[in-house]
Structure formats: C-alpha cells, structure tokens
C-alpha cells in the first residue's frame, strides 16, 4: 500500500462516539435539533442515531428550569490515535457550544447548550487537552478541562442513561461493570421514572413533540 493509499485508509477509519446534548434556556428543543444537525454536518462525521428527546430535572442546582436532553451516536474520524481523535471531537463540541451562545456560569447551572463526549469507541481516555493540542493539530480548548472518556458522571445520571440506553442498551463502556441498559434500570429504581421523561421523537431534521 502506498503512502497516499495508507493516508486515505487512515482518514476513512471511524469510531462510534456518543454525545450527550442538553439545554434549558430559550427554545431548548429547537436548539438541540439545530445542534444535532450541526454535529451531522461536521467533516467526516456520519450521524448513526438520535435518541428521543427527554425533559429532565436539574441536578446539583435545582433552582432552574428543567432541561431537555438527548444523545446522538456519531461515527467520527478515529484520528492517528484515540487521544487525538477524541480531543479533535471535544474541540468541535466546544466550538459548537460557543457558536450557540453558551455562557460560562456556575457549575451545573443553566445552559444555552451543553455537549458532552460520553463514549469514544472502546477507549478509556484521561488527558489534559492543552498537553496534546499541538500533537493533535487542533487548537487548545482554553478552558483547562481534562478530557475523561467515558464521561465520569454518565453512569450516575438518568438524563444520560435513559437516552443512551435507547441507542446502545448492550454497550458496556470501558471501566463499567454493567451495560448501559442495566445501569439505567438501576438508576430508575433510585431516582424514579419521572426524573427523565420522553417528550419527542427525532424525525430527520427536528423533534416531533406531538403527544
């Protein structure tokens, strides 16, 4: 295989990534629909699946509006190594948040748009984005955030588990001892079934919110 052919093969390699979406300011369903379409339009990204839209109770800071949440499955460029590929996706997510008017507020506070990288293939990653930005060929996100994949809070959050279980019920993310579906069932017994309620289905470009 020649150099150009090898490069094309690397570029064609993809990883299944799961991204959580959330918002509770403005027209959240419209915002999340636009965010899904923006993710789909990223270079080299294929949209594999979109969960139902959920209304969820806020966690950590309760004196704020309920959130709308969903999860998307994306086939994304793998990159030359998992850390670089995951970092490139993280930078894209941060850029989308900014483009949608995301403002920095207190932790767990209201959000115009929140995009979380939940799972990146079968890889377990814990890196400082600034430490590998130059190697990744992408800009430093600039917020000092450590990238941890799978997302460290995902297994304890029903607003993540409920939509994720729709897309990948049998998935056992690296470091987990049970499947997403099993973790979701366990969480429902703890939090109750009203913490995350489905309110819409994805219809190609937006949410169908019909009763």
Q: What is the pLDDT of residues 31-49, one digit of tens each?
A: 999 999 999 999 999 999 9
Of the residues 14, 57, 102, 197, which is catalytic?
102
Report pLDDT for 132: 52
208 is catalytic: no
Of the residues 116, 155, 157, 191, which is catalytic?
116
102 is catalytic: yes
Residue 36: phi, psi to the nearest 5? -60, -45
Report pLDDT for 158: 94
**Alpha-carbon dihedral 175, 169, 79, 23, rounded to 10 degrees:** -100
Report pLDDT for 80: 92
114 is catalytic: yes
156 is catalytic: no
Report pLDDT for 70: 98
Report pLDDT for 108: 61
Of the residues 114, 155, 157, 191, which is catalytic?
114
Instruction: Give every residue of the chain whose pLDDT is below 50, as ranges.
Output: 1-11, 133-138, 143
pTM, two decimals, is: 0.86
Report pLDDT for 61: 67
Q: Please state, in angstroms and rounded to a whole number, the distance separating the CA atoms of residues 148 and 42.
A: 22
- Residues 154-181: pLDDT tens digits? 999 999 999 999 999 999 999 999 999 9
Listed in sequence order, the residues at least 6 apart from 3 whose beta carbon sits closer than 8 Å to its beta carbon are: none
């Amino acid at each position: 295989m020649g150099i150009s052919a090898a490069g094309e093969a690397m570029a064609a390699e993809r990883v299944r990534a799961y991204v959580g979406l959330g918002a509770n300011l403005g027209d959240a369903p419209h915002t999340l629909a636009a965010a899904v379409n923006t993710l789909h339009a990223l270079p080299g990204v294929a949209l594999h699946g979109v969960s139902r839209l959920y209304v969820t109770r806020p966690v950590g800071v309760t004196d704020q509006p309920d959130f709308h949440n969903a999860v998307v499955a994306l086939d994304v460029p793998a990159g030359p190594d998992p850390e670089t590929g995951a970092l490139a996706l993280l930078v894209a997510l941060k850029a989308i948040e900014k483009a949608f008017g995301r403002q920095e507020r207190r932790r767990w506070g209201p959000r115009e748009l929140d995009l979380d990288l939940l799972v990146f293939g079968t890889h377990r990653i814990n890196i400082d984005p600034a430490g590998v930005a130059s190697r990744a060929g992408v800009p430093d996100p600039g917020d000092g955030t450590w990238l941890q994949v799978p997302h460290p809070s995902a297994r304890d959050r029903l607003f993540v588990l409920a939509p994720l279980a729709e897309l990948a019920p049998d998935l056992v993310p690296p470091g987990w001892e049970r499947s997403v579906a099993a973790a979701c069932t366990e969480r429902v017994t703890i939090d109750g079934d009203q913490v995350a309620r489905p309110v819409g289905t994805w219809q190609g470009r937006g949410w169908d919110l019909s009763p």
